Amino acid sequence: MPELPEVETIARGLRPMLTGRCVVNIPHLAAHLAAHLAPVAPPAGQSILHTLVGREIHGVSRRGKLLFLELAQDEILAFHLRMTGRLGLAPIGMPPGPHVHLLLDLDNGSSLYFQDQRKFGTCALFTPDQLAGWPFFHDLGPEPLGLTPEQFARQIAGKTSRIKALLLDQRIIAGIGNIYADESLFRSRIHPATPANQLTRRHRYQLLAAIQSVLQEAIAAGGSSIRDYRTAAGLVGTFQDTFEVYGRKGLPCKRCNRPLQTTKVAGRTTCFCPSCQAIEGG
């Protein structure tokens, strides 16, 4: 699933190409996608997205793993890419492929496409008030790149849950998924099953610093391309070439050379080094 670095990379790639452009046509909208578009009520007999024709795109932004097109008339088109969703641009007239579910033709001769092989991705049109009231958006935790050590401490204070589970909880911190949780915990030498309330102030500081550096490096590398993820330009990210633990079960630890192991935390496969990542936090 695209995480914060991947969605941020896509947003940065689309921003200069979409800002100021106008939607002139919607030649393709898959039925399964149209069925879940809400909550803005469309005119009778029209899909919600067809109200977008004539709208200018004022900006492209991100919150957690969500990507937003900021539109004229104070509307927001929100995309959640989930497992295999992709956004990109192609010339107008490109026939939809088997996994392209939405095409927005723009006034510069290009077409924004939403591709999603597994059909788990969603998009919805909101007013600002509706977006603020959407539980998934309303409940998002703070952005990790802007967190101070004091704010981070408050987010996990007193919690007995395992720290890896908290990092995956979008209500605690927005945007972190399995890849960057594993990489950050390894970098900070904290075992993923450590109860959060066992982390000392030093451990919390080390973990936040690791989270922020890992995310910044991943953004600079264009994200991690493991299966389906591509940038807005269709390029692969390269951060996967520097993974220290994620997906490396059985391979030698890059610090101590012992084989890396996996366990399950919050239902997710978690890779770690049993030597470098101590249960008490390192």
Among all residues, which ones are annotated catalytic?
2-3, 65, 268
Q: How far apart are CA 180 and CA 211, in angstroms?
A: 7
234 C-beta neighbours (distance < 10 Å), count: 11
d(C-alpha 166, C-alpha 168), whole Å: 5
Quote the tokens at residue 95: 């026939």
How many C-alpha atoms does 72 have within 13 Å on its Cβ side?
13
Dmax over Cα atoms in the chain, in whole Å? Answer: 65
Phi/psi at 136 (5° precision): -60, -40
Which amino acid does the sequence have at 65?
Answer: K
Question: Which amino acid is located at 216 in the chain?
Answer: Q
Cα dist from 55 to 2, 30, 72, 214, 263, whole Å? 27, 20, 6, 37, 48
Q: Tell me which DSSP letter residue 251 carries.
A: S
